[in-house]
Structure 1
Amino acid sequence: MKQVNLRNGLCAATAAAALLAGPSVAMANNTFHGVYLGGQIGWASYDNQLEQDGGVDLDGLSASGVSSGLILGTGTVNDGWYFGFQANYMVNNADGSFDDDDLDVDESYGIDARLGRVVSENVLLYGLAGWQRTNIEVDFAGSTDDEDLDGFRFGAGVEFATEDNVFFRLEYTQTIYSSEDLSYTNQEDIEVDPQAQAFHLGIGYRF
């Protein structure tokens, strides 16, 4: 009789543990699963190396300022690993000057792949990599030209989820843009080769 009771007790304990663990695992998987929409705001800095035809370097022209915009993405969790895609649209208020030359950074948009690890029920650590396009305007010696620059963006972040599907995140990214030639009236072409660094705080809702 004692053996039967002991066996029944072990079975009951095992079933109770499975019931307790099951929702916890499912909740961890569902916390970061699905489509989300959010906004982010932060600070971006653009460092540039400019080279004029003839090999004249014009280092020192950089821009920094507030960066804000929208994020839209989706993702899923499998065995604690997160994978998803995200699009962003940003408005930049970054500008700078060097001597008589000016640099203004306007809108920016792109798409990233995100890979991460759910380290607790409500915390996700992730890395990202993708493509970004940014419009810049350079005023050199009284003449102005603007170009859309394409770059490779990568970074990392941490995301905190709440029980009501709201999430918060802190993210750092760096973008390495391809060099572009800017043309000016009565001036030699200028090759611009920028890189950008950005910190963003984000808030959003996961559907």
Structure 2
Amino acid sequence: MKRDNVGKPHRGGRGAVASGLCAAAVAALLAGGPATALANNAFHGVYLGGQIGWAGYDTDIETDGDSIKGLAASGVSSGVLLGTGTVNDGWYFGFQGNFLLNNADASLGTDADLDVEESYGIDARLGRVISDRVLLYGLAGWQRTNAELSVAGVDKDDKDFDGFRFGAGVEMATQDNVFFRIEYTQTVYGSEDFRIDGDEVEADPHAQDFHLVIGYRF
């Protein structure tokens, strides 16, 4: 005579429920893990910063068959930057825009002066996170800089120079979303012609910049 199995626990049902709960928990962790990791990463997100440093311009000047090679202009450079970036498997990628005010000038004799003024551009940054708070990166982008050539008592003209900017830096982040950078860049500009008293003066600048940056990541 067979006994009725009613009232006995069904072990297969408990195992299925437990397996389902485990699978759901793992799925939830996997779904939330990357988002949580990005949110907690010191280099992920939008940032705003200020920068100050030194800028040097070596400029070749040509006019009426005469030329000056490597005319040096240098001075203080300061400004702001705004950008965003993210980290994937230890690699950083982001974009940023910058605006700078320069105080670099040079004299071409007793009466002529070349003054480098505002500059702005956009860069892409690619780097490697070497620890939780340290990022090494390179950058490349486009930069536009305004310069004015003046001749005392005669005339003056200003031009916008466009160039390719590249460089490298190190960024250090703190636990309260503040970061610091040390950055070095070079910019190779195309040549432009100033028009002074009806004559054309061709200028071909090359820039080097060194900046210290402090910013906040939102």
User: Does the 8 Å CA contact 1:60/1:98 hold for their aligned counterparts?
Assistant: no
Aligned residues: 183
1:182 alignment partner in structure 2: 194
User: Does the 8 Å CA contact 1:62/1:103 hold for their aligned counterparts?
Assistant: no
Deviations 1:68-100 (A, max 9, x none): 000000000000000000000001111121323
Structure label with greater radius of gyration? 2
**Structure 2 counterpart of 1:49, from 60, 66, 72:** 60
| 3-state SS of paired residue (2:69) | coil
Q: Supply the distance in 1 between the matched residues of 2:71 and 2:155 (Cα, whole angstroms).
A: 16
**Structure 2 counterpart of 1:127, from 114, 138, 141:** 138
1:203 alignment partner in structure 2: 214
Please report how far the alpha carbon of residue 29 of structure 1 lies from its aligned counterpart in structure 2 after TM superposition. 6.7
User: Does the 8 Å CA contact 2:38/2:86 hold for their aligned counterparts?
Assistant: no
| 3-state SS of paired residue (1:90) | strand
Deviations 1:12-44 (A, max 9, x none): xxxxxxxxxx89x93797110000000000000
2:47 alignment partner in structure 1: 36
User: Does the 8 Å CA contact 2:38/2:87 hold for their aligned counterparts?
Assistant: no
| 3-state SS of paired residue (2:41) | helix
| 3-state SS of paired residue (1:31) | coil
What are the ranges of 5 or more consecutive residues in structure 2 without an aligned counterpart?
1-32
Please report how far the alpha carbon of residue 140 of structure 1 lies from its aligned counterpart in structure 2 after TM superposition. 4.2
2:23 alignment partner in structure 1: none
Instruction: Report percent identity of matched pairs.
Output: 70
Q: Supply the distance in 2 between the matched residues of 1:29 and 1:79 (Cα, whole angstroms).
A: 14
What are the ranges of 5 or more consecutive residues in structure 1 without an aligned counterpart?
1-21
Q: Supply the distance in 1 between the matched residues of 2:181 and 2:147 (Cα, whole angstroms).
A: 27
1:64 alignment partner in structure 2: 74
For the aligned residue pairs, the C-alpha RMSD in angstroms reads 1.9
User: Does the 8 Å CA contact 1:28/1:120 hold for their aligned counterparts?
Assistant: no
2:161 alignment partner in structure 1: 149
Q: Supply the distance in 1 between the matched residues of 2:66 and 2:118 (Cα, whole angstroms).
A: 29
TM-score (normalizing by structure 2): 0.79
1:166 alignment partner in structure 2: 178
1:19 alignment partner in structure 2: none
Deviations 1:147-200 (A, max 9, x none): 0111100000000000000000000000000000111114x2111000000100
